[in-house]
Structure 1
Amino acid sequence: MTANSISATEPTQMRVADLQTLYDYTYWANNRLFAVINELTPDQFTQNVAGSYGSIRNTLVHVMSAEWGWLDRCGGPARGPKLNPDDFPTVESVTSTWRKVEGYLREFLATLKDEDLNRMVDFSFNPPQQHSLPVGNLLHHSVIHAVHHRGQVALLLRLLGYTPGNIDIMIFYEERRATDQRTRVI
């Protein structure tokens, strides 16, 4: 293995603080999208437009369900069965549940030490095939999975005639840096 290659069997170099920053970005980007999604009519929210899950609502529920599912597998609060989009008829029903999941995630991260990220988690999402990865890799996957589907939601918004704005992580970093600088001045 070369010095630049990554192995899922070696301890992760990620720190809890790194994951906290990535989830800060995730919820910042979610909030930016929800500001636009709140402008949709109820029909637009559930309308089958395109993509893997069809509607904005279905895509959001998929991401929220996956985020909670990975948290559950890593030792956080139990999600139960996969979330069903039909149980989330409104934007508010999605955002209120996601705020709860965000709270669970932040509480869970606050309990972790860096070495906990190397704890192996056995899981299956295509039984009977079994998998095993470290907690840090699974939580990192959850963030990247959300980035992928947020891009899909942004495209769906554009197809419906809305402008989702820039949700790139560099914008998040710039805003955070500006806030940190203002805080130091005060």
Structure 2
Amino acid sequence: MLTLFKYNWQVRDEWFDWCGQVPFEELIRTRIGGVGSILHTLFHVVDAEGSWIGALAGKPDPKPNFEDYMNVDKLRNLSHAFRDEVKPFLAHWTSALEDKTISVDWNPGDVFTYGEVARHVIAHEIHHVGQLSVWSRELGLQPVSANLIGRNL
């Protein structure tokens, strides 16, 4: 499980680097798909991971506001802060956690297994990276490689 999170973190950091070549106006321009813009989609990915995996680790939902992170460096710092909080939990993941259940405030009445949540968070980010890749090509830029092979994970 941790390998796929490390993959997502590595790819996300490369997307933050990629943003350095894009004017701010393009990063916040409303686009079709995702949650509206490149920067907001990256924020959404960071927020979802921090909320879901934080909940599994017993932490309160941090509920950051996008308006406070409308800057690549601030968003990268938030991403790293959330990563530092959830990494110890994920590093100690065992099969015993797979069927443990959790309910969260943002899905009242629903019950999820830890394994289901962890895999959802992994797939969620990969899905949004695909959207970022399409937008990158629309801008005439090379997207970040989504290849897991060769990342030494």
TM-score (norm 2): 0.88
Alignment partner of 1:21 is 2:11 = no
- TM-superposed CA distance for 1:47, in Å, is 1.5
| In structure 1, C-alpha distance between the alignment counterparts of 2:130 and 2:24, rounded to whole Å | 21
Distance 1:166 1:110, change over 3 A: closer
Alignment partner of 1:137 is 2:116 = yes
Gaps of 5+ in 2: none
Alignment partner of 1:98 is 2:85 = no
| In structure 2, C-alpha distance between the alignment counterparts of 1:45 and 1:35, rounded to whole Å | 13
| In structure 2, C-alpha distance between the alignment counterparts of 1:76 and 1:46, rounded to whole Å | 33
Percent identical pairs in the alignment equals: 23
Alignment partner of 1:54 is 2:36 = yes
- The structure where strand makes up a greater share of residues is 1
CA RMSD of aligned residues (A): 1.9
TM-score (norm 1): 0.74
Q: CA-to-partner distance for each residue in 1:6-58, whole Å, 9 max, x for gaps?
A: xxxxxxxxxxxxx1111011112112222211211121211113213121011
Which structure's CA Rg is the greater one? 1
The residue matched to 1:77 in structure 2 has which SS? coil
| In structure 2, C-alpha distance between the alignment counterparts of 1:71 and 1:115, rounded to whole Å | 16
Gaps of 5+ in 1: 1-18, 178-186
Alignment partner of 1:174 is 2:150 = yes
